[in-house]
Amino acid sequence: MHEWALAESVIKSAVEHAGEQKLKKLKETGVVFGELQAIDKEIFSFALEELRKQFPAAAACRFKIEVEPAAFRCKACAHEFPLKGLKKTKDEAEFIHFVPEMAHTFLKCPKCKSPDFEIARGRGVSISYIKGEK
Amino acid sequence: MTIDPRPSVIAERLKGVKRVIAVTGWKGGIGKSVTASTLALLLAKQGYRTGLFDLDFAGASDHLVLGAKGLFPKEEKGLEPPVFEGVKFMSVVFFSENKAVPLRGANVSDAIIELLAITQWGELDFLVLDMPPGINDAALDVMRFAKGAEVLAVTVPSVLAHDVLERSLALYRRLGVPVLGVVENMSDGRRPAGACAAIRRDPKLEAALGRPAALLKTAFARDLRRAAAKAGLA
């Protein structure tokens, strides 16, 4: 349940940003899951439910999760490519799940085979917006 | 708006760590990994709760120094580092199958932040960080996130290493990072210039790598223990 640690970072970060914006209560937080990290939505949501007990400002917050497709740009040949179609074993997918940068170890540009590519979109977990009451 | 939520929990992950020791040096091949790994073993042997985090992603080798094989972190509200010879150990090699990790600077930074955010170190007296050579993304990230980290600098008896070291120490002073001391590795026995302690060249060290019990019996480990004491560790 490594998702728990990331869920904690999301709720803590959302509450901190709400505080900076002088929001007393969080109503909604947009959470983006990068396709590359393949976060388990069910486990993540369960963790958020448990964690919200520790964060009163997020007690009634709705966490709206969306998945951002991963996109890569090769630094060697400038080819742009998606995650779909890239070969990886179950273990390799698990390692990328823990540390998305392991993509550079296990994946390569389908055109020139270089591991030197940029993860342009869809890497990991981020917050896209927060809404709340002042 | 895009917020990276991970930095918000890093202080939480490190709050049970009493002292963070960054073993650093500005040249490659001067023995940082052997020093960091052996220091962690020495501290654990003395009964301190100790962690070791290999941050040299491109050249991770602490697992080789320790002889740590077949380990993997446990998933428990994050990742709990496996314990090897009394040391909680985290390394990128757990996730790379010992293959090359070809990361650019920004990727290194992302990977370090990820691991700092998800690693549950628990209560530790010492967390030893094996830093990559020089001041780069990894070093700057550690200074940013592991506030209060103390530097143990490693050098070797070479005018090149000493000159580079002087520049690095000046930078640490400017950044307000405390430097515990400088240890001169591979010393020829002469009084080291600018270092608080010398670790003599030990021809038997190579054969002890990968065997913690043998490693702790080397002259290298004995000298390092004295050097660590001089630097205020243990």
Residues A30-47 have a mean pLDDT of 97
* Residue type (1 letter), A107: L
User: In this predicted structure, what is the pLDDT of residue A24?
Assistant: 86
pLDDT, chain A, mean: 96
Q: Which chain A residues are within 8 Å of B111, Cβ to Cβ?
A: 99-101
Q: What is the pLDDT of residues B40-64, one digit of tens each?
A: 999 999 999 999 999 998 889 999 9
Residue A4 is inside which H or E element, if any?
Answer: helix A3-20
Structural domain tally of chain A?
1
Q: Which chain A residues are within 8 Å of B4, Cβ to Cβ?
A: 13, 126
Alpha-carbon dihedral sign for residues B76, B77, B78, B84: negative
Q: What is the pLDDT of residues B168-191, one digit of tens each?
A: 888 888 888 999 999 999 988 777
Residues B120-131 have a mean pLDDT of 97
Q: Which chain A residues are within 8 Å of B7, Cβ to Cβ?
A: 9, 13
Structure token digits, residue B2? 């895009």
Question: Is residue B195's pLDDT more than 80?
Answer: no
Give the integer Cα–Cα distance in Å for B93 and B72: 9
Whether A127 sits inside 8 A of B102 (CB atoms) is: no
Instruction: Report all structural domains of chain B as residue ranges with CATH numbers, in order of start.
Output: 6-230 (3.40.50.300)
| CATH code, domain with A109 | 3.30.2320.80
Give the integer Cα–Cα distance in Å for B44 and B84: 10
Nearest CA to B11 out of B144, B180, B175, B178 is that of: B144
| A87 to chain B, closest Cα gap in Å | 16
| B118 to chain A, closest Cα gap in Å | 5
Q: Which domain holds residue A103?
A: 3-133
